Amino acid sequence: MRDFSADHRWLSINTATLRGAGTLHAIIEACARHEIRAIAPWRDQVAAIGIERAARLIREHRLELSGYCRGGMFPALDAAGRRAALEDNRRAIDEAKQLDAACLVLVVGSLPGALAGAPASKDLFAARSEVRDGIAATLEYARGVGMPLAIEPLHPMYAADRACVNTLEQALDLCDALDPRRDREGDSVSSDGASRAALGVAVDVYHVWWDPKLEAQIARAGRDRLLAFHVCDWLVPTRDLLNDRGMMGDGVIEIARIRGWVEAAGFAGYSEVEIFSSENWWKRPADDVLATCIERHRSCV
């Protein structure tokens, strides 16, 4: 297992962690000040400053992208909505490619309308079927471009509105169904030199830490399907279902134990910090947040 205690070279910052810190331009400059080597930006933050400018800033600061957030959200109210989702996913892949991201993270979606608070269906089976079809269609395009897709299983508390893929086992079943040969793309080689499958998973400890099958499923995923590793912490108590994630070390997740499993499976990429925290970290200055991320990366990840 890699020793993270001496430096933060394998730290990546998911830019959602700095939602309170202004534009992507400001976030990138803050990361550069702290000698952070990698980020994972969100599409809205990229769009807000323009992708050309984002790409230039990323190049200028020699930042790697541990991932690009996010594609997915496949289920829709009707065929037109599903078509629009597929088109949007193709755009996300093109953007990820333009920014040279390691993968496009997929938050797959669930019951149509639920994210807006007005679910138009209760049929989780239909949602799963639409997700499967959506990934299949998107994978075809992603293969052509050479952009790996990382299905992120979300915590079951998001099953209604954000993702109907809620365990690593379920995500890997999808991978095996849609990419049975674990096809590699010629240019899908991650920063650690590992080859990667065209379809894999993003393992976020926040979503999967509770799972009694986690260790076994991480081993099953193997090096080529482990496309991203996200960290934060589960606070006790958790006061909000979405925006009360904790800084590593402030909660109860045995992050290093899980990183051990991921590395035992061959993963040697970035540990990406993704913290949604409307009442705490989003209210603090970017330099404080990043200094804490670095310190906790070295001591708690």
CA 34 to chain centre: 22
Stretch that binds a second copy, among 92-100, 175-183, 204-212, 268-276 (CB under 8 A): 204-212
Stretch that binds a second copy, among 82-90, 109-117, 190-198, 219-227 (CB under 8 A): 109-117
Give min distance, CB of 74 to a second copy, in A: 16
Give min distance, CB of 199 to a second copy, in A: 18
Q: How far is CA 207 from CA 87, 134, 177, in A?
A: 27, 22, 22
42 is an interface residue for a second copy by CB under 8 A: no
Q: Are the CB atoms for 34 and 1 separated by under 8 Å?
A: no
Burial 107-143 (b: 16+ CB within 10 A, else e): bbbbbbebeeeebeeeeeeebbebbbebbebbbeebb
Give min distance, CB of 185 to a second copy, in A: 28
Distance CA(280)–CA(69), nearest Å, equals: 22
Contact pick of 155, 196, 223, 245 for a second copy (by CB under 8 A): 155
44 is an interface residue for a second copy by CB under 8 A: no
Contact pick of 88, 100, 123, 185 for a second copy (by CB under 8 A): 123
Distance CA(69)–CA(224), nearest Å, equals: 20
Classify residue 120 by its DSSP letter.
S
Considering the complex, state which of residue 29 and residue 244 has its C-beta at the smaller distance from a second copy. 244
Stretch that binds a second copy, among 64-72, 82-90, 161-169, 194-202 (CB under 8 A): 161-169
Distance CA(162)–CA(19), nearest Å, equals: 19
Stretch that binds a second copy, among 55-63, 196-204, 233-241, 259-267 (CB under 8 A): 233-241
Q: Tell the burial category of 6 from Cβ atoms under 10 Å away from its Cβ (0-12, 13-18, 19+).
A: exposed
253 is an interface residue for a second copy by CB under 8 A: yes
254 is an interface residue for a second copy by CB under 8 A: yes
Binding site for a second copy (CB under 8 A): 111, 114, 117-119, 122-124, 128, 155-157, 159-161, 164, 166-167, 170, 209-212, 234, 236-238, 241, 251-254
